[in-house]
């Protein structure tokens, strides 16, 4: 058994049975090993950023890591942006970066580079180069353990080609997964006292707190104490929809977030960091919490604590009655007339299927989406937690692979889609039930807004040209066709609604190019 | 004058008047400054890898750097693969990576990451974070000087948003560019003695030695001594065509390269490193030079010496007569019949316009290209020096921007094109005279070959599926249309020849999807 074979066997034995990949020569033994390990599924991507984003989406829905196979330093570079997002979302990913055979490195061949420097950007906690075939299985088991945490993280295993091709591989032994540590009882009691005091208080929910159990427990606390429920601006995964408590998202624009936080005297961090603005702006504070508000920590993301258990204990300590589903609101009417950001949101809300997974990278066009869908049937919502655009389409791949029985809806900004559009090909190849709505407003609309917010006043035609996507217009129906995904363009809310329903009624991927005017 | 303004002014004053960019919020002041500095040209890309590859192509043709503007660590990640290629090609690039305002970094906002670690991968020699507005102009001048070398390199300037937006910018002063140091006379004399001895000897030409002056001088030496002229496998830029001496390229496949080197007793390195195999293979040597061959150094790439001057001195020392253009060979006939790698090469050779620039990322489909075009009209040939695929289309952008009077022909493998296909949009936007030929063989053909060469014998259907681009077939005509470039599919050599000529007779970009069967 060569090293590659032991690696793939160890991954599968450790529950990592899906590998998103864009391999090259140095990874050929890993690829060849796929046939010897029937339970490993290889999913090919045309670009590394598709593979890494898919691994993120998979982990958000499964809670366990997928593997990603990349080709040397440049391949890791191409996958870096979506690994950045995975790091910020605190999901587990096992990244395997092939490298030259160890004796080849001294020659500085064309593809030689310092992989470790790049890997540290996304894997500050665990980067390891496997140095001997006999150790590779053990290293793979360690990579899975490191990725799982808690807290979960991106773990990067660098795999020299000769370590992979040499005989003498040994299956790695898996340790018992670590459990999240319980939150200290004193902390829970202290926060219970804050909540009992009845001053204006909010729970600021992030990370694992936004799963179904977490929001139910948070809902009990809110019902018992009157505390407000706030959620991170871009949750990793929020389980929501009819009957579940719906925390209010903290606004992206710092001006509005400050207004949300201003009335509070206490903010309790629940697997979330204290809120700061996304970017800095001249003359504005980055820290969004007013001086008159005290911040309490039930648990921070970096601690990897059992936040859900702590929320349930907290609810019990407050004597909150058990969670009950709120009565489901009525579905909104199917919208008609002009296509706008509002009617787009209404169309999604009017049609979203039970159990859907929404990959939301709609940027400015998605402003009304979350609000409109709060009472839609139960679904999971995935956001751009790390802020690096080009995530939405790959994330949809990973979610669809992880949950083949659930429909995935990817609402995607035009500019953002063009970083990882190759995702459509993998969606077609794997027959994934992904509906993609491209919100085509023909500009980097968010930058038009940011240009003013950063105080760049004297803006001329050359600057505006750098935010413009109209020269030439991009035809997403042609692009989808080129990558094997059937597509249609819609100009009205009626057509969008009908095409959404049509896509949900068919299997396989479909793309809808929605001509939505800019909101600003 | 704010920092951004002083930065753009200093760039232009230093000869850096083109900036390829994919900016975000933290770069908005740089973008706003474009209108205040009329001589700076901003070229927008939909993806960072397009911008960095374009800067590489620009520098290969101009010899001076373009700037690239990227958005924080993830933007640098997206641009990293083509910066890797630029590093290996030893061309000058000034990379400007926007970052959060300095006081914002402590809050670990979503887009915060350790940019320096990533930058060191491609800029080991010069990474600098500008810490104060007053210093920014000076830092920009230093970045240009660092990029120019010699040897040229990728220089990375990290630009915090507040350093950019604050008033108090000062134009940077430019130092006199450093000249390449002369090669020591003793070294030239020693190599002259080797050449005079008449043993089997080759000059191994790379880097700047493959420009017109370099190959002319090398041709004089070969004519006077009988020395063979070999060239690096993937030159940064080779000026070639009718009348110019044509060095033989060292083969990509180590098996063949060893056969080329076996007869030699002396190998003289001329701005090239000693030849090694691209990848390592089980049981094969990485060092391709036989034990019976002595290696001599006229100059190594890392030394940044005046290699062209040294070649001319060497030719004079050998009493070689002045260079004369060889009589131009006849143009090959226009090919007819089936489209194959051979007839594709013949079609290019039969039609290549005078002064063309060829961006060659044709991979296996390009096997016969260089041979067929040696007698074509004078042209420049750009290769995948760093080995990270996805370079050819961006490189074509940069070459076309740098040389608006020359036609660019990008011969591109299907798999490789899909890393940076967004390039077509920028080609359309800027009206660039780029003809793209996609060699569509519906597979990662090179990996089918490598899979066998690395000794992965027992290859099953799952492995082969990872090298296959037929599920679904990709329609490049639709993809080009989607990005604003007119396109046509051809199935015969006759049609390819006709469409090449048509593209050369029209201005603006055009794509030809050539259905070329795999060579293996």
Under a CB-based contact definition with an 8 Å cutoff, are residues B250 and B230 in contact? Answer: yes
CA distance A505 to chain B (A): 22
- Judged by CB atoms closer than 8 Å, whether chains meet at B32 and A463 is answered as yes
The two tokens of residue B51 are 């911008």
State how far the Cα of B413 lies from the Cα of B435, in Å rounded to an integer. 14
Under a CB-based contact definition with an 8 Å cutoff, are residues B266 and B194 in contact? Answer: yes
What lies within 8 Å, CB to CB, of A16 at 6+ separation is: A64, A65, A66, A67, A94, A144
Residue numbers in A near B109 (CB within 8 A)? 276-279, 286, 387
Residue numbers in A near B385 (CB within 8 A)? 110
Q: Is B32 on the interface with A (CB under 8 A)?
A: yes
Q: Which of A105, A113, A485 would best serve as a mutation to test chain B binding (most B beta carbons within 10 A)?
A: A113
Residue A356 lies in a domain: yes
pLDDT band for A324, please (50, 70, 90 cuts).
Answer: confident
Sheet containing strand B379-382, edge to edge, reads B238-240, B379-382, B356-361, B408-413, B434-439, B510-514, B487-490
- Judged by CB atoms closer than 8 Å, whether chains meet at B77 and A77 is answered as yes
Local structure of B353: helix, strand or coil: coil
Under a CB-based contact definition with an 8 Å cutoff, are residues B237 and B211 in contact? Answer: yes
The shortest CB-CB distance from B77 to any of A84, A100, A425 is to A84
Q: What's the pLDDT at A457?
A: 67
Residues A59 and A157 in one domain: yes
- Judged by CB atoms closer than 8 Å, whether chains meet at B29 and A110 is answered as no
Nearest of A482, A432, A357 to residue A41 by alpha carbon = A432
Q: Which of B19, B40, B121, B489 would best serve as a mutation to test chain A binding (most A beta carbons within 10 A)?
A: B121
Residues B9 and B90 in one domain: yes
Residues A84 and A146 in one domain: yes
Residues B87 and B29 in one domain: yes
What lies within 8 Å, CB to CB, of B106 at 6+ separation is: none
CATH number at residue B484: 3.40.50.970
Mean pLDDT across B103-124 = 96
Q: Which of A17, A56, A77 would best serve as a mutation to test chain B binding (most B beta carbons within 10 A)?
A: A77
User: Final residue of a domain: which of A255, A284, A317?
Assistant: A317
Residue B171 lies in a domain: no
* pLDDT cut 90: percent of chain A above it: 93
Domain that holds residue B276: 185-317
Domains: count for chain B? 3
The secondary element (H helix, E strand) that includes residue B382 is: strand B379-382
- DSSP H helices, A352-484, are 369-372, 392-402, 414-417, 423-429, 445-453, 461-465, 476-482
Residue A237 lies in a domain: yes
Number of H helices, E strands in chain A: 20, 18
Residues A142 and A189 in one domain: no
User: Final residue of a domain: which of A250, A284, A317?
Assistant: A317
- Judged by CB atoms closer than 8 Å, whether chains meet at A78 and B74 is answered as no
Q: What's the pLDDT at B323?
A: 85
The shortest CB-CB distance from B32 to any of A117, A280, A451 is to A451
State how far the Cα of A45 lies from the Cα of A75, in Å rounded to an integer. 12
Q: Is A186 on the interface with B (CB under 8 A)?
A: no
CA atoms within 13 A on the CB side of B209: 31
The shortest CB-CB distance from A32 to any of B84, B456, B468 is to B456
Question: Could you check whether the bond before residue B346 is cis, i.e. omega within 30 degrees of 0?
Answer: no
Q: What's the pLDDT at A451?
A: 83
pLDDT band for B489, please (50, 70, 90 cuts).
Answer: very high
Residue numbers in A near B67 (CB within 8 A)? none
The two tokens of residue B143 are 């970045």
Counting every residue, how long is chain B? 520
Q: Is B447 on the interface with A (CB under 8 A)?
A: yes
Residue numbers in A near B454 (CB within 8 A)? 25, 28-29, 161, 165
Q: Is A455 on the interface with B (CB under 8 A)?
A: yes
Mean pLDDT across B479-496 = 98
pLDDT per residue over B261-273, tens digit each?
A: 999 999 999 999 9
> Tell me, what's the ipTM?
0.97
Q: In B, residues 292-321, which contact A (CB 8 Å cutoff)? A: none
The shortest CB-CB distance from B278 to any of A109, A467, A477 is to A109
The shortest CB-CB distance from B107 to any of A276, A460, A472 is to A276
State how far the Cα of B295 lies from the Cα of B234, in Å rounded to an integer. 20
Mean pLDDT across A225-249 = 96
pLDDT per residue over B301-357, tens digit each?
A: 999 999 999 999 999 999 999 988 877 778 889 999 999 999 999 999 999 999 999
What lies within 8 Å, CB to CB, of B201 at 6+ separation is: B194, B195, B225, B227, B228, B264, B265, B266, B267, B268
Q: What's the pLDDT at B328?
A: 74
pLDDT band for B457, please (50, 70, 90 cuts).
Answer: low
State how far the Cα of A341 lies from the Cα of A413, in Å rounded to an integer. 11
- Helix axes of A212-225 and A307-317: crossing angle, nearest 10 degrees: 30
Sheet containing strand A18-21, edge to edge, reads A41-44, A18-21, A67-71, A93-99, A154-160, A127-129
Q: Which of B110, B235, B473 would best serve as a mutation to test chain A binding (most A beta carbons within 10 A)?
A: B110
CATH number at residue B199: 3.40.50.1220
Q: What's the pLDDT at A469?
A: 95
- DSSP H helices, A96-232, are 115-122, 133-148, 161-165, 185-197, 212-225
- Judged by CB atoms closer than 8 Å, whether chains meet at B110 and A75 is answered as no
Query: Which residues are A139's β-sheet partners?
Result: none
Does position A196 have pLDDT exceeding 80, yes or no? yes
What lies within 8 Å, CB to CB, of B256 at 6+ separation is: none
Q: Is A475 on the interface with B (CB under 8 A)?
A: yes
State how far the Cα of A249 lies from the Cα of B191, in Å rounded to an integer. 72
pLDDT per residue over B20-67, tens digit each?
A: 999 999 999 999 999 999 999 999 999 999 999 999 999 999 999 999
Mean pLDDT across B510-517 = 98
Mean pLDDT across A285-295 = 96
pLDDT per residue over A439-476, tens digit each?
A: 999 999 888 888 888 777 678 999 999 999 999 999 99
Residues B312 and B351 in one domain: no
Q: What's the pLDDT at B454?
A: 79
Residue A10 lies in a domain: yes
Residue B520 lies in a domain: no
Residue B432 lies in a domain: yes
State how far the Cα of A87 lies from the Cα of A385, in Å rounded to an integer. 9
State how far the Cα of A359 lies from the Cα of A381, in Å rounded to an integer. 6
- Say which range, A45-54, A153-162, B282-291, has the weakest mean pLDDT: B282-291
CA atoms within 13 A on the CB side of B157: 32
Mean pLDDT across B77-81 = 98
Counting every residue, how long is chain A? 520
State how far the Cα of A393 lies from the Cα of A390, in Å rounded to an integer. 7
Residue B172 lies in a domain: no
User: Final residue of a domain: which of B269, B285, B317?
Assistant: B317
Buried b (16+ CB within 10 A) or exposed e, A193-213: ebbeeeeebbbbbbbbbbbbb
Tokens 């009819």, residue?
Answer: A242
State how far the Cα of A322 lies from the Cα of A477, in Å rounded to an integer. 49
Q: What's the mean per-residue pLDDT of chain B?
A: 96
Q: Which of B25, B272, B275, B457 would best serve as a mutation to test chain A binding (most A beta carbons within 10 A)?
A: B25
Residues B197 and B301 in one domain: yes
pTM of structure: 0.98
Nearest of A110, A35, A130 to residue B451 by alpha carbon = A35
- Judged by CB atoms closer than 8 Å, whether chains meet at B124 and A108 is answered as no
The secondary element (H helix, E strand) that includes residue B120 is: helix B115-122
CA distance A427 to chain B (A): 10
Residue numbers in B near A393 (CB within 8 A)? none
Residue B180 lies in a domain: no
Does position B471 have pLDDT exceeding 90, yes or no? yes
Other Cβ atoms within 10 Å of A184 Cβ, number: 12
Residues A284 and A406 in one domain: no
Alpha-carbon torsion (A136, A138, A141, A143), positive or negative: negative
Residues B253 and B396 in one domain: no
The shortest CB-CB distance from B32 to any of A277, A390, A458 is to A458
State how far the Cα of A33 lies from the Cα of A3, in Å rounded to an integer. 9
Does position A51 have pLDDT exceeding 70, yes or no? yes
How big is the CA angle at A130 (ends A127 and A132), to the nearest 5 degrees?
Answer: 165
State how far the Cα of B190 lies from the Cα of B186, in Å rounded to an integer. 6
- Judged by CB atoms closer than 8 Å, whether chains meet at B107 and A287 is answered as yes
Residues A135 and A267 in one domain: no
Residues B360 and B482 in one domain: yes
- Judged by CB atoms closer than 8 Å, whether chains meet at B111 and A388 is answered as yes
Does position A25 have pLDDT exceeding 90, yes or no? yes
Residues B313 and B347 in one domain: no
């Amino acid at each position: 058994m060569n090293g590659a074979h032991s690696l793939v066997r160890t991954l599968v034995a450790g529950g990592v049975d899906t590998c998103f990949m864009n391999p090259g020569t140095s990874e050929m033994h890993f690829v060849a090993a796929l046939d010897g390990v029937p339970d490993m599924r290889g999913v090919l991507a045309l670009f590394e950023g598709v593979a890494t984003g898919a691994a993120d989406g998979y982990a958000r829905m499964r809670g366990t890591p997928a593997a990603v196979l990349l080709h040397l330093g440049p391949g890791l570079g191409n996958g870096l942006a979506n690994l950045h997002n995975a790091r910020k979302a605190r999901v587990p990913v096992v990244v395997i970066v092939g490298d030259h055979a160890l004796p080849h490195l001294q020659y500085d061949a064309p593809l030689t580079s310092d992989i470790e420097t790049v890997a540290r950007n996304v894997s500050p906690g665990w980067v390891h180069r496997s140095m001997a075939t006999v150790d590779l299985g053990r290293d793979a088991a360690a990579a899975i353990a490191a990725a799982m945490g808690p807290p979960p993280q991106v773990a990067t295993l660098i795999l020299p080609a000769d370590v992979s091709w040499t005989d003498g591989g040994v299956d790695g032994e898996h340790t018992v997964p670590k459990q999240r540590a319980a939150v200290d009882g004193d902390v829970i009691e202290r926060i219970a006292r804050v909540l009992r005091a009845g001053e204006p208080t909010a729970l600021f929910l992030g990370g694992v707190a936004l799963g179904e159990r977490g929001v139910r427990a948070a809902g009990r606390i809110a019902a018992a104490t009157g505390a407000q429920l706030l959620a991170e601006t871009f949750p990793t995964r929020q389980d929501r929809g009819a009957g579940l408590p719906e925390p209010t998202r903290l606004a992206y624009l710092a001006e509005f977030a400050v207004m949300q936080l201003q009335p509070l005297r206490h903010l309790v961090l629940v697997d979330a960091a204290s809120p700061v603005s996304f970017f800095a702006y001249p003359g504005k504070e980055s820290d969004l919490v007013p001086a008159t508000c005290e911040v309490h920590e039930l648990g921070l993301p970096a601690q990897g604590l059992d936040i859900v258990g702590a929320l349930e204990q907290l609810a019990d300590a407050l004597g909150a009655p058990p969670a009950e589903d709120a009565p489901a609101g009525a579905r909104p009417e199917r919208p008609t007339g002009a296509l706008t950001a509002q009617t787009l949101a209404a169309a999604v809300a009017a049609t979203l299927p039970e159990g859907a997974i929404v990959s939301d990278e709609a940027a400015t066009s998605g402003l009304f989406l979350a609000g409109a869908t709060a009472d839609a049937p139960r679904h999971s919502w995935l956001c751009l937690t790390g802020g690096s655009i080009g995530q939405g389409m790959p994330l949809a791949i990973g979610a669809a692979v992880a949950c083949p029985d659930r429909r995935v809806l990817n609402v995607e900004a035009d500019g953002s889609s063009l970083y990882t559009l190759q995702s459509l090909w993998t969606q077609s190849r794997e027959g994934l039930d992904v509906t993609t709505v491209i919100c085509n407003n023909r500009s980097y609309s968010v930058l038009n807004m940011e240009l003013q917010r950063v105080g760049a006043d004297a803006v001329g035609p050359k600057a505006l040209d750098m935010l413009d996507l109209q020269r030439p217009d991009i035809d997403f129906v042609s692009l989808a066709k080129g990558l094997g995904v059937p597509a249609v363009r819609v100009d009205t809310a009626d057509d969008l609604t009908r095409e959404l329903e049509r896509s949900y009624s068919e299997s396989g991927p479909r793309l809808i190019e929605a001509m939505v005017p800019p909101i600003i």
